[in-house]
Chain A
């Protein structure tokens, strides 16, 4: 991992921990952004962690760009010593795979897809070596995921699969982005899953939909009264496959402001995770469901 610093115009510094995605790169980015926030550098206006990089926005009238760069570089040593552990939460997110709404949308934009004859799931299954969409769906929901970035549009989480790299699913984005994606679509691009927080443009493959609102500017949803955005970087997610009946029932609960997602407090330790991935994930599942 070689850190790369670069200016984004005269108001931003972009710091790439690594070109490729890994949890090590994410943790280093998280540690550095924590260090930048703690340092309370005069002139810093935004600190934004991403998957394997982060960005700092600053006011060059208050701090010279070269001085800002020197401040960040000085914090890198601090971040490297930080322990790769965080106290977070694991959340169960219900997903209705192969739902009619994303299906209608993916058929509408078929000419923008790598495989105009099939569906996004059939294509993803085939290029990842699965015999059927059902097997691919099982691979998608049988291990937990890690929120490594929130962004693109308001409250959209990027999720990274907590398995060895050889087992990670990878799919390209659409050849040309769609102009429409249903709200709460569960998508996939590169090595990341995502949930589209609002309806709109998008380039990720579409696999299903969750009945859970994850962005609510009115803050009436039962679990979004404190803040309108549900996800934070570091959250751990377990997808729960549901059918149409459960989707409808859950959606009705969400809309009636009485749905309470299954959430448990957990700690995540990267070193312990890397030492025994399956064993660590089993413990996360125990924490979620109780033993």
Chain B
């Protein structure tokens, strides 16, 4: 039970729901950037929601199957083909031993999730199969897929063909993308006007956007309230005494370009953060392409929890539709 990597695409990694519990040692949570898409793909092929699957950004891989399997592709809009025959997204299909799974060009979104019945069975590291390349943990030898890799699969024939997530339950970011932000952390270091500008301005996803973080450009620079820098922080007004960075927190080194930290981010450092993107919107970030126009929208905790509840209900509907 395995598949062979004929072409890895641009950057394809094994991901599950992540590796919690080691953040205090600098080991990030990792896992799928779009967890909703990962869960949905797994459910369609009959896996546990958190089984390991492939996350592929911008360009699909070419995979040759060594055994029969059920496959589902979710997330970005990038049509799949089995031996050249097009297969619908968000819908389970069969691949036979010896067949080749390939992909057309990306039409929308940024990352596809390929779940395969049985789940990817590479050895877990610290309780997860998620690939964390900087720390050489998880996945195939701690790195993204490479040509010629034979990737093992777990047991399980998989679900029948044709199981599908109803169209109304599939989620992609709108245009312009809106990311809801709860101000906090070191928000108090910036001027009120700067805080307002941050939410008023239109930003664009910068080319430096990856699993560690998404950088944004185009808004006005952040200005800081005048103060004497605390001992140990460093001389730049954007510096703090090094502390932890929450998943989703927004740092603005030098006050110029906001970076939203994502699954493989550094666990801490010496830059101030002005708040965090709410948990309900983190999956969307993984589907933003460079140059996507983006607005940050100020919300309070009540709105953040309401949005989180909506996401949970959406997932429950997907579970119900596929049960």
Contacts and interface: CB of A to CB of B under 8 A. Distances in A.
A32 interface: no
B184 A8 contact: yes
B308 A190 contact: no
Interface in B150-164: none
A151 B26 contact: yes
Given A14-B244, A154-B134, A9 B231 contact: no
B91 interface: no
A215 B137 CA distance: 11
Interface residues of B, number: 52
Interface in A8-29: 8-12, 14, 16, 18-22
B269 A154 contact: no
A52 B230 CA distance: 12
A66 B23 CA distance: 23
A273 B134 CA distance: 38
A47 B244 CA distance: 10
Given A61-B308, A65-B301, A55 B230 contact: no
A19 B25 contact: no
A214 B134 CA distance: 14
B307 to A, nearest CB: 8
A6 interface: yes
Interface in B214-269: 230-236, 239-244, 246-249, 253, 266-269
Interface string A146-169: 000111111110100000010000
A16 B243 contact: yes
B279 interface: yes
B242 A173 contact: no
B242 A192 contact: yes
A173 B239 contact: yes
B239 A190 contact: yes
B313 to A, nearest CB: 12
Size category of the A interface is 35 or more
Contact of A14 (B20, B134, B246, B301): B246
Contact of A152 (B184, B185, B269, B301): B269
B21 to A, nearest CB: 7
B19 to A, nearest CB: 11
A6 B184 CA distance: 6
A236 interface: no
Contacts of A241: none
6 contacts: A19-B241, A48-B24, A53-B241, A170-B232, A172-B235, A197-B26
Pairs of residues from A and B, 8 with the lowest C-beta to C-beta distance, nearest first? A21-B232, A9-B276, A8-B246, A20-B230, A55-B244, A154-B135, A151-B26, A12-B246
Interface of B: 20-21, 23-27, 125, 132, 134-137, 142, 182, 184-185, 187, 230-236, 239-244, 246-249, 253, 266-270, 273, 275-279, 301, 304-305, 308, 312
Interface of A: 6-12, 14, 16, 18-22, 45-55, 57, 60-61, 65-66, 149-156, 158, 165, 170, 172-173, 177, 189-192, 197-198, 200, 203, 215, 217-218, 229
